[in-house]
Structure 1
Amino acid sequence: MKTFKTSFPSILIIAVILVNFACKDDKTKKENQEPEQMEKAVSITSGDFGTTAAGEKVTKYFLKNKDGIQVDIITYGGRITSLRTPDKDGTMKNVVLGFDSLEQYEKDNPFFGALIGRYGNRIAKGKFSLDGTEYTLAQNNGQNNLHGGVQGFDKKVWKAKTEEGDDSIKLILTYLSQDMEEGFPGNLSTTVTYTLNRDNTLDVLYEAETDKTTVVNLTQHAYFNLSGDFSNTILDHIVEIDADTFIPVDGGLIPTGELRPVKGTPFDFREPKLVGKEINTDNEQIKLGGGYDHCWVLNDQGSGYRSVASAYHPETGRNLEVLTDEPGIQFYTGNFLDGTLPTPNGGTYAKRSGFCLETQHFPDSPNQPEFPSVTLEPGDKYRTKTTFSFTTK
């Protein structure tokens, strides 16, 4: 039998080749694994948030991007319960008013973070007519109907599904409102899609279809305090609203039908202005609302989706920009908060500890023929989009 001898140099060459091959193979494995180990630009997870008094399970969804935003949304009312965003120094804080328990959301509360429907804002005396038929709604705000009634969309458990992309994540909520629910005609199939993007914008897309002529006016009712400290009021925020006119109201906060110029009034926010600068004046409209609780008629309505308002908190540098294709925006300064509702950290929400910028059609439009129509016909699709964009400066 022959014996094969291998010289030392030959063994060394073979060893080097094997080592190089092994290193290359290991590098290939690491490269293949790297995309899975990298932090995603956006992500969405979920968890249990309890069970309603009626026995319906509620889920909380956590939408995050790696650049600094986390939005928590529950299926009960499609409510934004928390929205964490960085200040100019990178400190993360929640900037929306909310509760830490489902039980608190089921109690009477001022629509914290809720989806509002079928009709955002007020309808006078809870009545309106369509095609010669008068419809009667609940009078849950004095003599008026407010935000859809006693059991509006804010108190419904929505069905949910998610979609994940490379640069955005979607939480898609659906709810079927039955014909004559809360007095509104038609079976209304509603979809609201929350999209968190990697650029720190939150899109809210509203869509609806009906099988019978009805009225629709959907909105989002988040209360913001960009300081992230709910023991502070929002009077030190600087707000800008691109509107030359606003809608005056009567003692029941129902539009008078007039569109009044903002020029020379406390309602002029065409240039950035401190919220507290004129909120305590003797202006008749300010007194009626207890502060700002009015709808502004937005400029450039023919141009569709556009930037319409902003709010800035100088101390933290947080800035909120609102974009929409809606004709109006309700600026509300938390005038009816009274210190009785608890914050998650053990405090209470006092008067003017939050503000709302609710994009929408005008209040009482079903009874105001001069206002833009809110009527939805079978075969047509209701579709409107609002974006909340968060930056620092």
Structure 2
Amino acid sequence: MKVWQRDFGKVDGQTTCLFTMKNNSGMEMTCSNYGCIITKILVPDSNGTLENIVLGFNNLEEYIQYSPYFGSVIGRVAGRIKGAQFEIDGITYTLEQNENSNHLHGGNRGFHNVIWNATVKENEEEITIEFTYMSPDGEEGYPGNVNMKVQYTLTNNNELLISYYGTTDQKTLLNVTNHTYFNLSGNLKRDILDHTLTINSDEFLELNNELLPTGQILEVKNTSFDFRKERKIIDGLRSPHSQNILAGEGYDHPFLLSTNHQQEIRLADKKSGRVMVIETDEPSVVLYTGNQLEGHYKVHGIPVRKYLGLCLETQGLPDSIHHSHFPSAVLKKGEEFKSKTKYYFTIMN
């Protein structure tokens, strides 16, 4: 196991860093203390060729100018909050409106857009980069001082573990995820439409025209949302289902997981032979297939375009504060938010 560090430029006069971890099999993961961004993951294909499988940039300035949350930790609350407002104990809190009249992904100064403290921990079998950040009371409109800890751990078994911990000094909302865009073809040789996906999920959330949950929970059975058996991503592009059309011809939906820590999510690219298996203790995963990816910029030298990458964001249900039948994202004083997701990389047999 090896780990090394280098400068990644400055934000508001503060120096940011890149950390690269490499295991004994050659797998590498690079991340930054700016937004806890995962900038690169190198894993082998079926021929043993190591290539990058995530979307990102080669310099900090491009992340600041262009990034649609590439590789970032998202918080305090992942997803959208309707009307950029919520109520706790009779008090109404007003958040930043950064997507029309709604609040998205923690606001402009969310966890993705701040510098975290970083510490390296290592032994013979694994390396951990531990990030910490104190989000002050009132940041982006949220109540409470929240102390966050995020750990990225690379093991010799080609596993990447992401662990989240949070505490607060007053009742608040906390629902954290990672927004990495994956493309298993390697070095973005192809888009993700021929990737195959399996999700152990019987139900998904219906969305409205603002991509907010309506509160209705729909069955996946006999729809393009049924990933209980392996399905190609392109099915969502071709689907006449109103929810696929609503999302921009693809997916941008939370799936309710039927199991946890039982290989409940599996993404594969048959041409490269790469497979990624995800296990989590979260109740859902948001599948976003890059339907809105566009702009006048390049991703590792490739012009950005729709379906260049996909996200599998393990998290609590979005906008749960406005839906009492959803699992709550309220964190109380004296409680600890804990969440863990494991990504295991292998090749097809």
TM range (shorter): over 0.9
Describe the SS at the equivalent of 1:73: strand
Point out the more displaced range, 317-326 or 107-116: 107-116
Gaps of 5+ in 2: none
Tell me how many residue pairs correspond in the alignment: 347
The aligned runs of 1:120-135 (5 Å cut-off) are 120-135=78-93
Q: Deviations over 1:145-167 (max 9, x none)?
A: 11001111000000000111110
Point out the more displaced range, 275-284 or 201-210: 275-284
Is residue 2:297 matched to residue 1:297? no
Describe the SS at the equivalent of 2:157: coil
Once residues 346 and 205 of structure 2 are traced to their aligned partners in structure 1, the CA distance between those partners, rounded to angstroms, is: 30
Cα drift, residue 295 of structure 1 = 0.2
Which residue does the alignment assign to 2:69?
Answer: 111
Cα drift, residue 339 of structure 1 = 4.7
Is residue 2:59 matched to residue 1:101? yes
Cα drift, residue 231 of structure 1 = 4.8
More strand by share: 2
Once residues 55 and 282 of structure 1 are traced to their aligned partners in structure 2, the CA distance between those partners, rounded to angstroms, is: 50
Describe the SS at the equivalent of 1:279: helix
Is residue 2:127 matched to residue 1:169? yes
Which residue does the alignment assign to 2:308?
Answer: 353
Amino acid at match of 1:236: D
The aligned runs of 1:62-101 (5 Å cut-off) are 62-101=20-59
Identity %: 39
More helix by share: 1
Gaps of 5+ in 1: 1-41
Point out the more displaced range, 210-219 or 221-230: 221-230
Is residue 2:176 matched to residue 1:218? yes
Amino acid at match of 2:91: T
Once residues 185 and 231 of structure 1 are traced to their aligned partners in structure 2, the CA distance between those partners, rounded to angstroms, is: 44
Once residues 144 and 278 of structure 1 are traced to their aligned partners in structure 2, the CA distance between those partners, rounded to angstroms, is: 26
Q: Do the aligned residues in 1 keep the contact of 2:86 with 2:94 (CA within 8 Å)?
A: yes
Which residue does the alignment assign to 1:337?
Answer: 293
Which residue does the alignment assign to 2:141?
Answer: 183
Once residues 140 and 232 of structure 2 are traced to their aligned partners in structure 1, the CA distance between those partners, rounded to angstroms, is: 39
Once residues 110 and 48 of structure 1 are traced to their aligned partners in structure 2, the CA distance between those partners, rounded to angstroms, is: 22
Question: After TM superposition, what 4+ stretches of structure 1 lie above 4 angstroms from structure 2?
Answer: none
Structure number with greater Rg is 1
Describe the SS at the equivalent of 1:106: helix
Amino acid at match of 2:272: T
Which residue does the alignment assign to 2:334?
Answer: 379
Q: Deviations over 1:37-84 (max 9, x none)?
A: xxxxx12110111111x1110010001102131000011000000000
The aligned runs of 1:222-371 (5 Å cut-off) are 222-290=180-248, 291-300=250-259, 304-344=260-300, 346-371=301-326
Which residue does the alignment assign to 2:10?
Answer: 51
Describe the SS at the equivalent of 1:97: coil
Q: Do the aligned residues in 2 keep the contact of 1:247 with 1:296 (CA within 8 Å)?
A: yes
The TM-score with structure 2 as length reference comes to 0.98
Cα drift, residue 141 of structure 1 = 1.4
Q: CA RMSD in A?
A: 1.0
Cα drift, residue 390 of structure 1 = 0.3
Once residues 278 and 148 of structure 2 are traced to their aligned partners in structure 1, the CA distance between those partners, rounded to angstroms, is: 23
